[in-house]
Amino acid sequence: MNQADGVSSTCGNEVTYDSRLPWFALQVRSRHEAYVADWLRGKGYEGFLPQYKCRKRWSDRVKEVETPLFPGYLFCRFDPQNRLPILKTPGVIQIIGCNRSPVPVDEAEISAIQTLVASGIPNAPWPFLHTGDGVQIQRGPLRGLQGILVGFKGNYRLVLSVTLLQRSVAVEIDSGFVTAVHPARPRLASTSLQLRPAQLAV
């Protein structure tokens, strides 16, 4: 993508955008995520379609394929005052927002997901978490990322969330790599996740 120095502009059918413009989430038709991402990229927009590898079984074989982390959604930087070209993109259903106004996605949340995807560490979609204590990874390729530490099948996973979409993604980590970033909160009797007292839990 071509970028202007602090300026948003159009030139013919190509779009040149300042990389400091906010990220927005686009809802797209099912199984059209990659097509829409390629279309927007071809028009000069900076897009982000996070994917993960999963194993799918056919009648005669099992194959590892890349699948969207957030099915039906992708992210794109653009000027919200000039969003008509985005809405007219084939496959785009809507821009996620409130009262018909686009709402930007938190830059830190996008950056965290980008870091996770670039790391190559196995990850997968995860139920969105509304509450919980935060931790920060201190070592390894995901160093600096913050998220929620949860227990799952005897292991620990860091959950990263995109609040606007109410979607999350989880990556397995070594619990010794993290430190608390928020004080531990009292556990409720109904809490289903059980972690060692030294660790934080949802």
The reply to whether domains 9-105 and 108-180 share a CATH topology is: no
Domain map (residue ranges) of the chain = 9-105, 108-180
CATH number of the domain located at residue range(s) 9-105 in this protein = 3.30.70.940
Q: What confidence category does residue 174 fall into, taking pLDDT thresholds of 50, 70 and 90? A: confident
Q: Give the integer Cα–Cα distance in Å for 75 and 60.
A: 35
Of 3.40.1400.10, 2.30.30.30, 3.40.50.300, 3.40.50.2000, the CATH number of 108-180 is 2.30.30.30
Hey, what's the torsion of the CAs at 40, 44, 45, 51, to 10 degrees? 60
Q: What predicted TM-score, i.e. pTM, was given to this entire model?
A: 0.75
What DSSP element (H or E) covers 41?
helix 33-42
Q: Contact 95/76 with Cβ under 8 angstroms?
A: no
Note the pLDDT tens digit of each residue in 135-171.
889 888 999 998 988 887 778 888 999 999 999 999 9
| Of 186 and 176, the one with more pLDDT | 176
69-73, 91-95, 134-138, 192-196: lowest mean pLDDT where? 192-196
Q: Give the integer Cα–Cα distance in Å for 157 and 129.
A: 13
Q: Give the integer Cα–Cα distance in Å for 168 and 176.
A: 22
